[in-house]
Every structure is written in C-alpha cells, then in structure tokens.
C-alpha cells in the first residue's frame, strides 16, 4: 500500500494521511499527496470520485493522488 511505498521511498506520509478531514471517504482533498513519478506509475488509476476531489486540491500536479484512496 501507499505507506509501504512511502517507507521504501523514505517519505513520511502517515501524518499526512491521518490528517485527512473526511476519514478516507474521498470527500475532501486534505490528504492530497504528490508522489514521485516512479511511485505514481506503480499505482492503479484513480477513481472518478478521486479525480473529482483532486481537481479541488491545492497545488495539483501530474502525480497527485488522494493519500487515503491509494492502496
Ligand atoms: Fe478525505 Fe482522503 S481523507 S479524501
């Protein structure tokens, strides 16, 4: 999952994910994370719901995901 990947890539995402305001129900964008391209490419495509929320995320990038939706 993402935490495992983050550990491999030496990124501390746990605090970010736990700060998610909607408790991982894909209804906010506070868990927005920007991934390394190598990590992004290993993940499944985001759902339509996730893409809708990502559009609202601050500082959206080509490798943005919602941390709570990545498994
Ligand atoms: Fe709200 Fe991830 S915690 S979308």
21 lines ligand 1 (CB under 6 A): yes
Supply the pTM of this predicted model. 0.72
Q: Please, which pLDDT band fits residue 70 given cuts at 50, 70 and 90?
A: confident
2 lines ligand 1 (CB under 6 A): no
Give which of 20, 22, 52 is closest to 33, Cα–Cα. Answer: 20
Distance 57 CA to ligand 1 centre (A): 11
Give the per-residue SS3 of 47-69: CHHHHHHHCCCCCCCCCEEEHHH
Q: Please, which pLDDT band fits residue 15 given cuts at 50, 70 and 90?
A: low
5 lines ligand 1 (CB under 6 A): no
24 lines ligand 1 (CB under 6 A): yes
ipTM of this complex > 0.85? yes
Say which residues have a Cβ less than 8 Å from residue 12's Cβ, sequence separation at least 6: 6
């Amino acid at each position: 999952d993402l935490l495992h990947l983050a550990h491999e890539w030496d990124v501390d995402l746990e605090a970010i994910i736990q700060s998610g305001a909607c408790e991982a129900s894909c209804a906010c964008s506070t868990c927005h994370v920007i991934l390394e391209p190598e990590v992004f490419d290993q993940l499944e495509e985001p759902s339509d719901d996730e893409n809708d929320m990502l559009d609202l995320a601050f500082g959206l990038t080509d490798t943005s995901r919602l941390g709570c939706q990545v498994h």
